[in-house]
Chains A and B, each alone.
Chain A
Amino acid sequence: MIKRRVVAVSLLIALSASSAALFSSRVQAQQTDRAKQIGGKFMCMCSCNQVLTQCNHVGCTTSASMLKELDGWVARGDSETVITSAFVQEFGTKVYAEPPRSGLSLVAWSLPTVYLLLGTLLVIFVIWRWRSRALLRPASVAGRQSGVSAQDLERARRRVAQETED
């Protein structure tokens, strides 16, 4: 009877220990994933211009110490905002891997969209203009608006044809 109890208790302890180990390794894995995810938002400060989690320069002590700090904060359960401000306080705004979406940095984020929108509008306008031109005028008279007369342009073309060969 006593033997059975000992076995049962041992089993229970082993089970608890293994689940604790399992839980702890899962927590650790989650922490590692979180650290990796947050670390991907900062630059390594060794001037390699690489993201912190990707800096793999031989002997780079900067990324090693930054990652160690990050791991510590993540293990402590600090929020991303707290970690970000801690890094910014330590290294300045150049630690951001991507500009924050506020203040002047908003310009960096909005510019590509602005380019794309303005460019698209421009292309649509150009197409519309060229289409209306095709509808209004026959192709043969196109090009006569230039400051150079049609005869001069034709003469220049003939000259080019004579002067050049592929």
Chain B
Amino acid sequence: MPSEPHAIEAHALTKRFGDFTAVDQLDLTVETGSVVALLGPNGAGKTTMVRMLATLQRPDGGSARVAGHDVLTEADRVRRVISVTGQFAALDKNLTSIENLTLMARLRGHSRAATRTLVDRLIERFDIGEFRDRLVKNLSGGQRRRVDLAAGLIDSPQLLVLDEPTTGLDPRSRRVVWSTVRELVAEGVTLLLTTQYLDEADALADRVVLIDRGREIAKGTPAELKTRVGEQRIDIVAGDSAALEQLEQLLGPSFQMSVAREQRTISIPAPGDVADLARVTAVLRDSAIAVDELALRRPTLDDAFLALTGHTASAEEIEADMAGVAA
């Protein structure tokens, strides 16, 4: 065994639900002290992957080690070094914030006295004081996430796993979670997070693994990924299909572009920012073609998919995954 094992080392990890393969031969390496994001749409297999690493689900194939411990044969040791919070590893909604934290600390083996100190410190650090005695079911999404994070950090885990930490949060609460996560990272916590948002992976992670249908499609630093996806683009939504054709003819000769016919949208890469936008508007200005919308956009997860796989994350897959999970 190497002197310092990786925080996560997974090889060809596979999980099937009946005919549906949720995670398909996925490799994943997370170096100690780094932040890795598993990025993918709903149903890509992110949560299943995390559940296997957290010893909550048995892989059907492949192997995984967390801090050097095998998730199958040394599950108990894995549970000691990992801490999972997020959509599936949640809080007891019928307990208050402080009761939840106290319970988790006590279950981790702390004495009553030690628990009190520990919980007080967490309450202060995550700014929970205001709602410490409120039942979790009555908390807002952002407040709940704070308690959730606090509960995940009771024992300074070697590896913190955050499963979709900001899904369903309003933008302000999202920022709060982000800044908390950044603080933790600055302290040297090793972090694996799953997210559906490209900007979240960009904001928090050192490395991103993009997955779809349980398979890895791309990995690299956020910067590398963005280069491959295209930095920014200009979206032009035509007023009707006739206008779309006119726009294609008008812009085709001077711009590299992709057309999404159903959305009546033309996308033009815009690495040059406003300068590119100005070039497009200059062409459009005199044309009198009906345009519904014209905007400079940052790449979304869908763009990444389109660029890297040639298809978007479709609704069918999501349904298939839901059916698989329910089975």
**Do A and B interact?**
no
**Chain B residues engaging chain A, CB cutoff 8 angstroms:** none
